[in-house]
């Protein structure tokens, strides 16, 4: 409709009123149906329709307009609609409808998450979210990966205890405990302790050892009590897993994958990204184009630590200490990306102590073949590794890290039967969206964010 040049034809539009202005003779309604950031302008001849009938057509009201498409003399649009008839589906009382004036803060909008998709900003964000989800499926499908569904309810917590939300049908008001005071899960639904998945990787590996190249894309849950702008309790993760890929292939896949998504965003979401660029972050478009043109820098954790130590020696201060063996905090990751290299960085070969038991061990006995992709403004956007395919090394490392072998016997079986080198990674979908939209709080790129003490809608 907005692009149509079929002036003179009858049209019908349905949508929500963004604004209404005008005088006693002529009224202008900016109407939006959610399909794009652009509104269509409805022109109302007050004498034809009567001033009274327009009264309830205020910001937020939902209407259906029958009219004639005409060339617009006004600026900002080619076509407008001369209204013949307006039907009101639902009014929105100006005294109580919360989305009145422009320029509500993002914090305020989070409190009305049920209505915020109706704002320009969140319309743009959620349209981009859709296009990025499609891009992800297209990228993998075009490369011959199979979309594999891993379970949401699981009894294995591969990333370590403490982060899992428990799933139970036990009566919490009347918990049976044994003599030592522990809960008896025999009566629970699964006959054992169960929780919501923190990652689909272990099951993804099983699939890669059969279908070759797979990816998962689904909700992931972490009960980490970190109230940060980069963590959610419920987020979506994309996890490709590929048989015969070594860490170098894994890095290339990650880089190609992110760039493919960014290109899709620029190709399909131009209006929305331009809006966000002008509204919140004047460097957004520049940053997206910049990253597309760069080869990601690849360096080892050890080299990264050296750079950070030199920065400290040169007078730079970090909140958290830097030394070989320390886990990198977001401030360290961002220093490397934003201050030192000014380019996305893939950091590899981390100390084995700070990484998971399943990562392939290097010959130095100290490091594992982990890779984190670090992005400007975000920090870690991808975490991945080459997996340990050797049964003995894997089970030994699991024991060292207190992962009970009896819980992961099925995972270990892949290393007993037809094992092969393989690699994969996890991309946090919302972290990608932070980068693509330029939003700074992860709660603003998912429709209904779940975070500590936050699950209203
Ligand atoms: P971080 O160090 O940032 O907490 P992590 O190392 O715990 O992340 P991984 O276990 O490597 O994360 O998960 C893979 C990816 O999933 C991360 O690179 C990140 O993009 C995303 N991710 C992890 N935790 C969260 C979360 N709580 N909310 C949103 N995205 C997350
Ligand atoms: Mn990680």
Residue 76 above 80 pLDDT? Answer: no
Check whether 162 has a pLDDT greater than 80.
no
Between residues 120 and 102, the one the model is more confident about: 120
The CA 215 to ligand 2 mean position distance, Å, reads 17
* Annotated domain spans of the chain: 10-90, 116-163+198-444
Distance between CA atoms of residues 301 and 321, nearest Å: 15
| In contact, 183 and 168? CB cutoff 8 Å | no
Which is the closest atom of ligand 1 to the Cα of 425?
A: 14
Q: In CATH terms, is domain 116-163+198-444 a member of 3.30.930.10?
A: yes
Task: Say how many Å lie between the CA of residue 231 and the centre of ligand 2.
Answer: 12
Mutate to test the pocket of ligand 1, among 196, 237, 425, 449 (most ligand atoms within 8 A of CB): 237
How confident is the model at residue 156, as a pLDDT?
79
Q: Is 343 in the pocket of ligand 1 (CB under 6 A)?
A: no
CATH topology of domain 10-90: OB fold (Dihydrolipoamide Acetyltransferase, E2P) (2.40.50)
pLDDT above 60: residue 161 = no
pLDDT in tens, 9-40: 999 999 999 999 999 899 999 999 999 999 99
CA of 60 to the centre of ligand 1 (A): 37
Q: At a CB cut-off of 8 Å and minimum separation 6, what does 35 contact?
A: none
Residue 364 has pLDDT above 70, yes or no: yes
Q: How far apart are CA 190 and CA 196, in angstroms?
A: 13
231 lines ligand 1 (CB under 6 A): yes
Q: Stretch 136-162: mean pLDDT, rounded?
A: 88
Distances (CA, A) of 304 to 185, 249, 355: 45, 21, 16
Measured in Å, residue 379 CA sits from the centre of ligand 1 at: 10
Confirm or reject: Cβ of 200 under 6 Å from ligand 1.
no
- Is the CB of residue 411 below 6 angstroms from any atom belonging to ligand 1? no
Q: How many CB atoms lie within 10 A of CB 211?
A: 14
Residue having the nearest C-alpha atom to atom 19 of ligand 1 = 428
pLDDT beyond 60 at 159: no
Confidence of residue 48 (pLDDT cuts 50, 70, 90): confident
In this prediction, residue 157 carries a pLDDT of 65
Ligand 1 atom nearest residue 159's Cα: 10
> What is the tens place of the pLDDT at every residue in 230-279?
999 999 999 999 999 999 999 999 999 999 999 999 999 999 999 999 99
Q: What is the mean pLDDT of residues 375-399?
A: 96
Judge if the beta carbon of residue 428 lies within 6 A of ligand 1: yes
Question: With contact defined as beta carbons under 8 Å apart, do 167 and 191 qualify?
Answer: no
Tell me the three state secondary structure of residue 374: strand
Q: Work out the average pLDDT over 101-118.
A: 92
CA of 327, closest atom in ligand 1:
2
Nearest-CA residue for ligand 1 atom 21 is: 428
Closest CA to 232 of 37, 7, 450: 450
């Amino acid at each position: 409709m907005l692009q149509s040049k079929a002036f003179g034809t009858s049209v019908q539009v349905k949508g929500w009123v963004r604004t209404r202005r005008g005088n006693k003779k002529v009224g202008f309604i900016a109407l939006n149906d959610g399909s794009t950031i652009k509104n269509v302008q409805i022109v109302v001849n007050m004498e034809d329709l009567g001033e009274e009938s327009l009264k309830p057509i205020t910001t937020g009201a939902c209407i259906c307009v029958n009219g004639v498409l005409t060339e617009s003399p006004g600026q900002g649009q080619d076509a407008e609609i001369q209204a013949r008839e307006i039907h009101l589906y639902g009014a929105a009382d100006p005294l109580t409808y919360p989305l009145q004036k422009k320029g509500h803060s993002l914090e305020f909008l989070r409190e009305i998450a049920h209505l915020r998709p109706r704002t320009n900003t969140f319309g743009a964000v959620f349209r981009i979210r859709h296009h990025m989800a499609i891009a992800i499926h297209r990228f993998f499908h075009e490369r011959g990966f199979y979309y594999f569904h891993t379970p949401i309810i699981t009894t294995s917590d591969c990333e370590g205890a403490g982060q899992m939300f428990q799933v139970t049908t036990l009566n919490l008001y009347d918990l049976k405990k044994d003599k030592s005071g522990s809960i008896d899960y025999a009566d629970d639904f699964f006959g054992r302790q169960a929780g919501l998945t923190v990652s689909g990787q272990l099951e993804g590996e099983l699939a890669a050892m059969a279908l070759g190249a797979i990816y998962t894309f689904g909700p992931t849950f972490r009960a980490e009590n970190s109230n940060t702008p980069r963590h959610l309790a419920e987020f979506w993760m994309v996890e490709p897993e590929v048989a015969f890929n070594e860490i170098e292939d894994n890095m290339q896949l990650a880089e190609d994958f992110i760039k493919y998504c960014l290109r899709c965003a620029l190709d399909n979401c131009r209006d929305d990204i331009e809006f966000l660029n002008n509204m919140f972050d004047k460097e957004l478009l520049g940053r997206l184009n910049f990253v597309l043109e760069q080869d990601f820098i690849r360096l080892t954790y050890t080299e990264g630590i050296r750079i950070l130590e030199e920065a400290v020696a040169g007078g730079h201060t970090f909140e958290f200490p830097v030394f070989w063996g320390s886990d990198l905090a977001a401030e360290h990751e961002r220093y490397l990306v934003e201050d030192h290299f000014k380019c996305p960085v893939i950091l590899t070969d981390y100390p084995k102590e700070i990484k998971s038991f399943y990562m392939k061990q290097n010959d130095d006995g100290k490091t594992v073949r982990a890779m984190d992709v670090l992005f400007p403004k975000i920090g870690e956007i991808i975490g991945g590794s080459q997996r340990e395919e050797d049964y003995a090394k894997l089970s030994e490392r699991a024991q060292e890290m207190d992962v009970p072998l009896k819980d992961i016997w099925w995972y270990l079986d892949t290393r007993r039967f037809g094992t092969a080198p393989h690699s994969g990674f996890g991309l946090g979908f919302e972290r990608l969206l932070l980068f693509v939209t330029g939003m700074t709080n992860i709660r603003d790129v998912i429709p209904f964010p779940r975070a500590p003490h936050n699950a209203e809608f």
